[in-house]
Amino acid sequence: MSHTDFAAHLILSTVLIIGAYQFYFWCQRNPLGPVREFRLSLDDRIPFWPAWVWIYSFLYYPAILYTTWVADSPREFIYLALSFLGLLAMQMAFFILFPVATPESWRTRQRERTWSERFLAFVQRFDARSNSFPSMHTSVAMLTALYLHAALRHVGLRLPGAHRAVVPVHEAALPRRPPGGRGARLARPSLLRHRMTGGQP
Closest CA to 91 of 143, 163, 145, 46: 143
Residue 88 falls inside a structural domain: yes
Alpha carbon separation from 83 to 46, 127, 143, 164 (Å, rounded): 32, 23, 9, 20
Mean per-residue pLDDT for 63-87?
A: 88
What pLDDT score was predicted for residue 2?
Answer: 77
- Selected residue with higher pLDDT from 107 and 16: 16
Percent of the chain with pLDDT over 90: 5
Task: Tell me what the mean pLDDT of segment 93-114 comes to.
Answer: 80
Residue 201 maps to a domain:
no
Number of domains in the chain: 1
Is residue 117 in a domain? yes
Q: Is residue 87's pLDDT more than 50?
A: yes
Phi and psi at residue 66, in whole multiples of 5°? Answer: -65, -25
User: What pLDDT does 85 receive?
Assistant: 92
CB 100 within 8 A of CB 35: yes
In a domain? residue 43 = yes
Provide the pLDDT for residue 157: 47
Domain range for residue 99?
Answer: 3-196
- The per-residue pLDDT for range 168-198, each reduced to its tens digit, is 444 444 444 444 444 555 555 555 555 544 5
The three-state secondary structure class of 111 is coil
